[in-house]
Amino acid sequence: MNYEESLDYLYSLGHEVLAAKYRLETIEALLESLGDPQRSFKSIIVAGTNGKGSTAAMIEAIQRRGGYKTALYTSPHLVRIEERIKTQGSEIPSADFGRIATIVRRASEDLVMRGKFESVPSFFEQVTAIAMYYFAERKTSLAILEVGLGGRLDATNIVQPLVSVITAIDYDHQEVLGSTIKAIASEKAAVIKPGSRAVIGRQVHKEATEVLMDRCIETGVLPVFSGEAAAVNASEDGRFTFDYETGKNRFSRIQLGLLGRHQVENAASAIEATELLAELGFGTSREALIEGLRGVRWPGRLESINSRPRILMDGAHNSSGAQRLRQYLDEFAPRPVTLIFGAMKDKDIAGIAGALFGAARTIIFTRVADSRAEGAARIGALAVKARCDFIITESIEEALVRARESTPDDGTICVAGSLHLVGEVKRSLEIEKYPLATI
């Protein structure tokens, strides 16, 4: 298969979430048939509800600047599937993606022919296998893997990690992970395994901390807890500096490349993971840590576009993520704010709306091109209850036009509610050759 054919094949396997298979037997068999490429490199696995992608990106940036051959696997992608699979900070070339997808497809179909499984591995399982195979080909030293959903039965949990990192746990994907914080935390805690180390980020819910501690005791893992930063200050656009002290080192005036107060907590987890990695043979300099945190970029999470009016994009697809975005808007966004909003049916739309809608002068509803997407008119009913000014649009392109009409040059257009929405907006901006240089 060439690149385009590989995309057609993978997307024919069904929706990434709706058609997902939550079990490890399939990915185990698939990777075994490929020679277990995941065993050729060391791994870090990052789970949590919010902040896991940012934290993974920070850890990778630090280790890459420390001189190691790094890899980063994340999900979902925003515009191109290649975004999920990176080595040394660069996306997998499309030709390599198509080539390896062909190898993985043949192995998948062979498993069915041999009677191992009734159907081929899912979209996420095959993309995970493509990533592992590519990382092995590139002779990766250290791969940082963001869990797709949950942890216990996620395809990324096939590895034996050096370090498991758990960021803040909150409500999300209850239909799969369970309806309580305890149940959700249990699923995510399963990435903590005997023989590894663990970093536990600051938790809002006491039950989550208790579950994570129980898992550490059960597995004999000594955890490190992220601490509080000191001397926290922000620039006008919401880029933070802070001091941080670990059990071994003190760092002063750390500057973050990512926007938002919540990134200070994610950076604390990344710093603690870096300290543990140093004990395990992946030592880095103080300069590598500082430069890594200052230079890291993570698209679609408080991503700010150089434009007039300013365009700010954030996935914010659950209530806790929406609250963090609202905090940023209240502190740093130029007024007035126009919100372009779209969300998935299986999300806590009322909770997200309660956090975000009050920050906007005008809300523009649109529907994401996804089978899980909620209709714009139904979401608009929440704006009626909140007595917000709103517009319902039929396309992303129309939403952008109406947002620009509604927002003065010194204001802010905020795109939020779904990473899929952010991806479609980014794609639309690329098509119209809009400058996508981020601040």
| Per-residue pLDDT reduced to its tens digit, 251-310 | 999 999 999 999 999 999 999 999 999 999 999 999 999 999 999 999 999 999 888 999
Q: Does 315 lie in the same domain as 225?
A: no
Q: Does 313 lie in the same domain as 276?
A: no
Q: Give residue 4's pLDDT.
A: 97
Q: Does 346 lie in the same domain as 264?
A: no
307 in a structural domain? yes
pLDDT at 435 over 50: no
Closest to 246 measured CA to CA, from 211, 289, 205, 216: 289
Q: Does 227 lie in the same domain as 261?
A: yes
Q: Give residue 141's pLDDT.
A: 98
181 in a structural domain? yes
Domain final residue, candidates 295, 316, 336: 295
Q: Give residue 436's pLDDT.
A: 41
439 in a structural domain? no
Closest to 349 measured CA to CA, from 329, 330, 372: 372
Q: Does 156 lie in the same domain as 258?
A: yes
How does strand 303-305 pair with strand 197-200?
unpaired
157 in a structural domain? yes
pLDDT digits (tens, 9 = 90+) for 20-71: 778 899 999 999 999 999 999 999 999 999 999 999 999 999 999 999 999 9
Domain CATH number, residue 325: 3.90.190.20
At 432, the pLDDT band (50, 70, 90 cuts) reads low
Sign of CA dihedral 168, 174, 177, 183: positive
Domain final residue, candidates 267, 295, 323: 295
pLDDT digits (tens, 9 = 90+) for 295-337: 999 999 999 988 899 999 999 989 999 999 999 999 999 999 9
Q: Give residue 203's pLDDT.
A: 96
* Structure-token pair, residue 189: 């805690």
Q: How far apart are CA 411 and CA 299, in angstroms?
A: 21
Q: Does 237 lie in the same domain as 158?
A: yes
Q: Give residue 279's pLDDT.
A: 97
Q: Give residue 22's pLDDT.
A: 83
pLDDT digits (tens, 9 = 90+) for 328-386: 999 999 999 999 999 998 889 999 999 999 999 999 999 888 888 888 877 877 777 76
Q: Give residue 17's pLDDT.
A: 79
95 in a structural domain? yes
**Number of domains into which the chain is organized:** 2
Q: How far apart are CA 60 and CA 43, in angstroms?
A: 11
Residue 71 pairs in a beta bridge with 87, 143
pLDDT at 151 over 90: yes
Q: Give residue 15's pLDDT.
A: 83
Q: Does 284 lie in the same domain as 324?
A: no
438 in a structural domain? no
Strand 223-225: give its sheet, edge to edge. 90-91, 85-87, 70-73, 142-146, 42-47, 163-166, 197-200, 223-225
Domain CATH number, residue 112: 3.40.1190.10
Q: Give residue 437's pLDDT.
A: 39
Q: Does 133 lie in the same domain as 57?
A: yes
Q: How far apart are CA 429 and CA 52, in angstroms?
A: 26
Q: Does 243 lie in the same domain as 111?
A: yes
The domain containing residue 223 runs over which residues?
Answer: 3-295
**Could you identify the residue written with the tokens 């933070």?**
240
Domain final residue, candidates 251, 271, 295: 295
CB atoms within 10 A of CB 235: 12
123 in a structural domain? yes
The overall average pLDDT reported for the chain is 94
At 431, the pLDDT band (50, 70, 90 cuts) reads low
Q: Does 244 lie in the same domain as 334?
A: no
Q: Does 202 lie in the same domain as 309?
A: no
Q: Does 185 lie in the same domain as 88?
A: yes
